[in-house]
């Protein structure tokens, strides 16, 4: 199923690929590969409603699947400005993925989400957690985020959404 779906997608047969991925998920609701293929396809189309539906269904079988949780926070809730849900889901990502090597990026994303809702103290705390666990080549980026949050705290002005947000799509399993 998966190879057939990938082939259809690479040939521009998006509807066919979607149908095949859906069949694969029906046969094996716990298939991370089938979920990832379908979710990536739907995200690329900006189809937030269907991404949310299939992801919530998938999480019923795999409640701690980090790529699905990250997709909800970053690729479904955030683009729709559903920041309360994005924050709650991103907090769940951090709780579930405490030992994940990319936890630093999860803290970074949560810092940005919190800053965008004016929760600057929490944002600063998350950005500092990101800095403590970030790989060396990403620390300057995190320090820049910390500097921006500190500047906004010093000015006591609300965040206007100017902070960077580069949330990559959920990683494949």
d(CA 91, CA 107) in angstroms, rounded, equals 9
Structure-block tokens of residue 87: 């924050």
Structure-block tokens of residue 70: 């990250």
Superfamily of domain 1-63: Tetratricopeptide repeat domain (1.25.40.10)
The angle that helices 120-133 and 103-116 make with each other, rounded to 10 degrees, is 160
d(CA 111, CA 91) in angstroms, rounded, equals 10
What pTM, to 2 d.p., does this model score? Answer: 0.82
The domain limits of the chain are 1-63, 83-173
Gyration radius from the chain CA atoms:
17
Q: In a structure prediction context, what are the per-residue pLDDT tens digits for the chain, which is 173 residues long?
A: 778 888 888 888 889 999 999 999 999 999 999 999 999 999 999 999 999 999 999 999 999 999 999 999 999 999 999 999 999 999 999 999 999 999 999 999 999 999 999 999 999 999 999 999 999 999 999 999 999 999 999 854 444 444 444 444 444 33
d(CA 44, CA 27) in angstroms, rounded, equals 24
Question: 108: Cβ–Cβ under 8 A, 6 or more apart, which residues?
Answer: 126, 127, 130, 134, 142, 145
């Amino acid at each position: 199923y998966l190879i057939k779906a990938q082939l259809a997608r690479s040939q521009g047969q998006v509807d066919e690929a979607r149908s095949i991925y859906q069949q694969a998920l029906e046969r094996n609701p716990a298939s991370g590969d089938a979920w990832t293929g379908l979710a990536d396809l739907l995200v690329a189309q900006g189809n937030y409603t269907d991404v949310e539906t299939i992801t919530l269904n998938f999480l019923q079988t795999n409640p701690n699947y980090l790529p699905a949780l990250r997709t909800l926070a970053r690729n479904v809730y955030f683009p729709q400005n559903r920041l309360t849900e994005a924050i709650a889901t991103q907090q769940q990502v951090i709780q579930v993925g405490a030992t994940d090597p990319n936890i630093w990026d999860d803290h970074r994303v949560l810092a940005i989400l919190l800053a965008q809702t004016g929760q600057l103290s929490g944002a600063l705390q998350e950005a500092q957690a990101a800095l403590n666990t970030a790989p060396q080549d990403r620390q300057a980026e995190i320090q820049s985020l910390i500097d921006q949050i500190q500047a906004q705290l010093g000015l006591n002005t609300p965040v206007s959404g100017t902070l960077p947000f580069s949330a990559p799509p959920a990683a494949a399993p």
